[in-house]
A and B are shown apart, each in its own frame.
Chain A
Amino acid sequence: MSNNIHHEGSGDLTEPAKNIIYSTDPADFHYVSVNVPCQSACPAQTNVPAYIRALYEGWYGDSYDLNRIVNLMPGVLGRICSRPCEQKCRHGEHELGRAVNICHVKRAASDHKDVNHVLLEPLFPPLGKKVCVVGSGPAGLAAAHDLSATGAHVTLLEALDEPGGMLRYGIPEFRLPRDILTTEIESILRLGITLKTGVRVGADVSVEQLLSDYDAVLIAAGCYTSKQLEIPGEHLPGVLSGLDFVMQIASGHSPEVGERVLVLGAGFTAFDCARSALRLGAEDVSICIRATEHDLRVTEDEIYETKREGIRIKGLIAANRVVGQMTVEGVEFSRTEPREVLSSGRRRIIPIPGSEFIEPADTVIVAIGQGAEPIPSPGKKNERGVLEGDPKTFRTSVPRLYATGDFNTGPTTVIESLAAGRKAAERIAEDLTGKKFREWSIRIQDAKITDRQRSWDFIPRQEMPSVPIENRLNPCPTVEIEIGYPKGQALEESKRCYLCYLHYEIDISKCIYCRLCIDSAPRDCIKLVSEVIVGRDGAIQELVETSDWRNVSAVVIDNSRCIRCGECVRVCPVDCISVSKVELVERALQGGGES
């Protein structure tokens, strides 16, 4: 185990480690992708069951570390992550109730860890290479961190006064307190990264110059060009750009808003604009969306809190024009018809002719999205003049020049851009040295059934305590709305996790086909099968069920249906069901592996 990251898979710290295997077999990766849905849904592949279990056992610091080794900012993400894991959590399957509040548990680990919690990092010896990272948002910070840990000398250039990107200049303080952000950024920077703020690449220094000064340059400059509605009246006084609006507030220069505010847009920015407008004194705020509330990508909690503050969400309407003489007086909308969900995840929307109506407004905030801002540089550009990077290798057409994060993909989320930053760093380190530094593998370890009780499956999802409505705007409109779980509530929520990293398997050679396990199963997770169909990568693709005893060739646990309750193990009279822990882990390859 000497070459492992210290904390990997250490969820059950009380359990002696035995029989650990690291596998890079595609079948095992496939297994995890199907069976640990939360971890596979996380762009950074955070080991969710392990950190939830660590918290349950009272190891807050370990729980934090299990996050930090892959996502670097658990305190930040525990507040504002878009939570793709929760969409896929098995507990949220149709007849099983609601998803685990994975993100709130992350925050609890961060809140309750020891104040002197020591951070441990695998650090490689110096490489003798210099890398410049442009932009200090989550993508740039993550890349700078990993490159620095790999041994590169990293300079981080930032156009604005402080680091953090949209974390500091987009997301409002009432969702993300700045002291938490600053601490976690400091923890990244102190690996020896040189941060230079107030340097706008393309204006203060050219990309060509950087390419001659450094061994590699990574552009992680985010998306700062607001999309326009391209409808009449858009330039009337009283129409504001959503991004400018939040950035001005974050910089301490809050704009003025009227009494009635319409926010056009459906993403994080639209919601933050609406809630910020309320805090600046608006009386009547509505978010106007073309599709429906159920198609929104912001989290359920955010929709709930937004509505609780009195903001309305008006669905199925599309803006045609802004109306007004000297200044904004309202917006003309059409009703829309929702059609199918496209491969992009967005719903196709058709405006309904003849359904026009006017909604009065004093201020209109347009928050319909952003695009990357072109930075003068050599290399192939897209139609908007923005440098193009390969989505997988992050390489541009210019050797040693890379692009990542939202700059490379268009607007995404913090966890996606952060994961992209880490991947780009790995690629750069490999390109510079011909060596691999980190590797993902499947760690398989014997385990026992846990102390989880079936009754825990019925614990209600623990709601996040929040500041009462009447104390949100006054006296301090930047007060953090979500209070965080107290320890007891965090423990209750952690009990809800099925621990999908546990793998249950029946040893057919010992099975006496008594079917006691099937009788005790909480759902159709144990199957009588006539055939197991295996795919090209060696992974189980399909179980062909049969109800005819003559055709039964095995009793099989369908791990994709299993809720890890352990009942089958308890009732098996011949002890033929084994349990193992199967985790996707990132390992530092000591000394650098072959590329």
Chain B
Amino acid sequence: MTARHVVIIGNGPAANEAAISLRTQAPDARITIISKEPIRYYKPHLLPDLIAGKVSEQDLYVNPLEFYKENDIRLRLGQEVVHVSFATNEVVMEHKEVVRFDGLIIATGGKPRIPEPLQVFEDLMLSLKTLSDAKVWKERLRWVDSVLIVGGDLTSLSFTKAVLSLGKKVYFILHGDSFWPVRFNEELSSEVSQRLSDRGVEVISCRKILRLVMASEDSVEVETDGRKLRVGAIGAFFGLVPDVKFLARSGLAIERGIVVDEFLRTRFEGVYAAGDCAQVYHPKLRDYWVSIGYRNARNLGRVAALNLLGGQESAETAPAGIFQLDDISVNTSWWTEF
């Protein structure tokens, strides 16, 4: 395809890699990145370090704004896409503007997952996905001296380290099948528990969280089937789920993520999905998977861009492990279950 106007929804690694691959392969294409966050492309994996005060906000940013100018990539930041019409090839924004596209790459990533039984307490829990989430945590941690973490995904472990480094007390409720992006099994669970305890974290064993109540402005009361405690803040860390609900009525097939084939094609011509928001069927795995991870996202962004331009590249099935954690080695190549 001689891509005229390619719109990329998202501004994470998948989106940026797609944009730059497009620019390299199709010098004449008009490229627009649309992102609901009002800030430049940053590295989410440094957010725990930002909370710990080890890096500054500037250290998070990947490209300077000049980079986009030089590469003639239009950035529309702070603008949320609320609908895509495939009949008219239009993206509808929250502020009512409509943008036409000839090619579309959806790279909207994931959003924090809260299991249904806990959704009633959603307002009382904080998560960590974006820079603005990190800022909320930073502010909260100035006032409180203890944090309860529920769930137990890989992000939660680096976050725990950050909170401990600030001298706060950490409680942890490891939640059954929440170990994301790998499957949680007995062995892993006890290994994680042990390491957390070694670091001074109090691991609470319970089956259910019965009640969360705001006890005061800076404390929340937690009641589990085993005990009651009061903490300064509660973090929900159950991994991410693809952020694609706004597409549910668009005609795209959405299951967990946007369903695409191994070439990242959706059902509509010229429309691709890449990164954490894509649910890819891969014949070699004989299954669907949703990828998680910075490098995977970049790789998928590149593949989507090349295929949009007429390529036939298949998404790799065995990329490198994604999380580098110094004390736990887990293979996080792909995950197929939530």
**A and B interact physically:** yes
Task: State which of A293, A308, A310, A470 has its C-beta within 8 Å of the C-beta of B255.
Answer: A293
Residue B288 at the chain A interface, CB threshold 8 Å: yes
Dominant secondary structure at the A interface: mixed
Residue B64 at the chain A interface, CB threshold 8 Å: no
Would you give the shortest CB distance from B243 to chain A, in whole angstroms?
Answer: 14
Query: Are B253 and A347 in contact (CB-based, < 8 A)?
Result: yes
Residue A120 at the chain B interface, CB threshold 8 Å: no
Q: Which of B10-18, B50-58, B279-287, B317-325 contacts A (4 or more CB under 8 A)?
A: B279-287
Contact with A along B33-68 (1 / 0, CB 8 A): 000000000000000000000000000000000000
Contacts of A308 in B (CB 8 A): 116-117, 119
Query: Are B116 and A304 in contact (CB-based, < 8 A)?
Result: yes
Query: Are B259 and A316 in contact (CB-based, < 8 A)?
Result: yes
Query: Are A341 and B96 in contact (CB-based, < 8 A)?
Result: no
Residue A2 at the chain B interface, CB threshold 8 Å: no
Residue A524 at the chain B interface, CB threshold 8 Å: yes
Contact with A along B78-113 (1 / 0, CB 8 A): 000011000000001111100000000000000000
Chain B residue nearest to A349 (CB atoms) is: B253
Contact with B along A317-342 (1 / 0, CB 8 A): 00000000000000000010111110
Chain A residue nearest to B92 (CB atoms) is: A94
Query: Are A354 and B287 in contact (CB-based, < 8 A)?
Result: no
Contacts of A468 in B (CB 8 A): 210
Contacts of A292 in B (CB 8 A): 253-255, 259
Complex CA gap A95/B92 in Å reads 8
Query: Are A470 and B210 in contact (CB-based, < 8 A)?
Result: yes
Chain A residue nearest to B210 (CB atoms) is: A470
Residue B227 at the chain A interface, CB threshold 8 Å: no
Contacts of B287 in A (CB 8 A): 335, 355, 357
Query: Are A95 and B255 in contact (CB-based, < 8 A)?
Result: no
Query: Are B288 and A316 in contact (CB-based, < 8 A)?
Result: yes
* Contacting residues of chain B (128-156) with chain A, CB-CB under 8 angstroms: none
Complex CA gap A354/B285 in Å reads 10
Would you give the shortest CB distance from A232 to chain B, in whole angstroms?
Answer: 21
Query: Are A335 and B288 in contact (CB-based, < 8 A)?
Result: yes
Would you give the shortest CB distance from B312 to chain A, in whole angstroms?
Answer: 19
Query: Are B96 and A316 in contact (CB-based, < 8 A)?
Result: no
Indicate the member of B92, B116, B248 with the most A CB atoms within 10 Å. B116
* Contacting residues of chain B (278-302) with chain A, CB-CB under 8 angstroms: 281, 283, 286-288
Given contacts A95-B82, A95-B96, contact A335 B281 (CB under 8 A): yes
* Contacting residues of chain A (502-542) with chain B, CB-CB under 8 angstroms: 523-524
Given contacts A293-B255, A307-B116, A347-B253, contact A354 B96 (CB under 8 A): no
Contacts of A310 in B (CB 8 A): 117
Given contacts A354-B286, A470-B208, contact A523 B96 (CB under 8 A): yes
Contacts of B267 in A (CB 8 A): 338-340
Complex CA gap A549/B210 in Å reads 64
Given contacts A304-B116, A308-B119, contact A294 B254 (CB under 8 A): yes
Contacts of A341 in B (CB 8 A): 251
Chain A residue nearest to B338 (CB atoms) is: A312
Complex CA gap A524/B98 in Å reads 12
Residue A43 at the chain B interface, CB threshold 8 Å: no
Would you give the shortest CB distance from B113 to chain A, in whole angstroms?
Answer: 12
Residue A469 at the chain B interface, CB threshold 8 Å: yes
Query: Are A338 and B255 in contact (CB-based, < 8 A)?
Result: yes
Indicate the member of A294, A357, A524 with the most B CB atoms within 10 Å. A294
Complex CA gap A357/B288 in Å reads 13
Query: Are A338 and B117 in contact (CB-based, < 8 A)?
Result: no
Contacts of B119 in A (CB 8 A): 304, 308
Indicate the member of A95, A341, A357, A523 with the most B CB atoms within 10 Å. A95
Query: Are A94 and B255 in contact (CB-based, < 8 A)?
Result: no
Complex CA gap A470/B96 in Å reads 43
Query: Are A95 and B283 in contact (CB-based, < 8 A)?
Result: no
* Contacting residues of chain A (454-486) with chain B, CB-CB under 8 angstroms: 468-470
Chain A residue nearest to B81 (CB atoms) is: A94
Residue A21 at the chain B interface, CB threshold 8 Å: no
Indicate the member of B83, B95, B254 with the most A CB atoms within 10 Å. B254
Would you give the shortest CB distance from B283 to chain A, in whole angstroms?
Answer: 7
Indicate the member of A338, A339, A347 with the most B CB atoms within 10 Å. A338
Given contacts A95-B92, A307-B116, A316-B288, contact A294 B248 (CB under 8 A): yes
Contact with B along A293-322 (1 / 0, CB 8 A): 110000000001001101000011000000
Contacts of B283 in A (CB 8 A): 354
Would you give the shortest CB distance from B275 to chain A, in whole angstroms?
Answer: 20
Query: Are B116 and A338 in contact (CB-based, < 8 A)?
Result: no
Residue A123 at the chain B interface, CB threshold 8 Å: no
Chain A residue nearest to B85 (CB atoms) is: A94
Complex CA gap A335/B96 in Å reads 38
Task: State which of B96, B248, B255 has its C-beta within 8 Å of the C-beta of A524.
Answer: B96
Chain A residue nearest to B247 (CB atoms) is: A294
Residue A352 at the chain B interface, CB threshold 8 Å: yes
Contacts of B210 in A (CB 8 A): 468, 470
Would you give the shortest CB distance from A558 to chain B, in whole angstroms?
Answer: 13
Contacts of A316 in B (CB 8 A): 255, 259, 288
Would you give the shortest CB distance from A20 to chain B, in whole angstroms?
Answer: 36
Contacts of A524 in B (CB 8 A): 96
Query: Are A94 and B117 in contact (CB-based, < 8 A)?
Result: no
Would you give the shortest CB distance from A303 to chain B, in whole angstroms?
Answer: 9
Contacts of B95 in A (CB 8 A): 95
Would you give the shortest CB distance from A547 to chain B, in whole angstroms?
Answer: 15
Contacts of A354 in B (CB 8 A): 283, 286
Contact with A along B197-209 (1 / 0, CB 8 A): 0000000000010
Chain B residue nearest to A305 (CB atoms) is: B116
Query: Are B253 and A94 in contact (CB-based, < 8 A)?
Result: no
Contacts of A95 in B (CB 8 A): 82-83, 92-96
Given contacts A308-B119, A315-B255, A347-B253, contact A94 B288 (CB under 8 A): no
Complex CA gap A34/B82 in Å reads 22
* Contacting residues of chain B (180-208) with chain A, CB-CB under 8 angstroms: 208
Would you give the shortest CB distance from A320 to chain B, in whole angstroms?
Answer: 14
Complex CA gap A347/B96 in Å reads 29
Would you give the shortest CB distance from B244 to chain A, in whole angstroms?
Answer: 9
Contacts of B251 in A (CB 8 A): 340-341
Give me 23 A-to-B residue pairs in the complex whose CB atoms sit less than 8 angstroms apart, sorted by A's number.
A94-B82, A95-B93, A95-B94, A95-B95, A95-B96, A292-B254, A292-B259, A294-B248, A294-B255, A307-B116, A308-B117, A316-B255, A316-B259, A337-B259, A338-B253, A340-B251, A341-B251, A347-B253, A352-B281, A354-B286, A468-B210, A469-B117, A524-B96
Given contacts A293-B255, A357-B287, A524-B96, 19 further A-B contacts (CB under 8 A): A94-B82, A94-B246, A95-B95, A95-B96, A292-B253, A292-B254, A294-B248, A307-B116, A308-B117, A315-B256, A316-B259, A335-B287, A337-B259, A338-B255, A338-B259, A340-B251, A347-B253, A355-B286, A355-B287
Task: Give the interface of B toward A (CB within 8 A).
Answer: 82-83, 92-96, 116-117, 119, 208, 210, 246, 248, 251, 253-256, 259, 267, 281, 283, 286-288
Task: Give the interface of A toward B (CB within 8 A).
Answer: 94-95, 292-294, 304, 307-308, 310, 315-316, 335, 337-341, 347, 352, 354-355, 357, 468-470, 523-524
Closest CB pairs A-B (n = 3): A338-B253, A94-B83, A307-B116
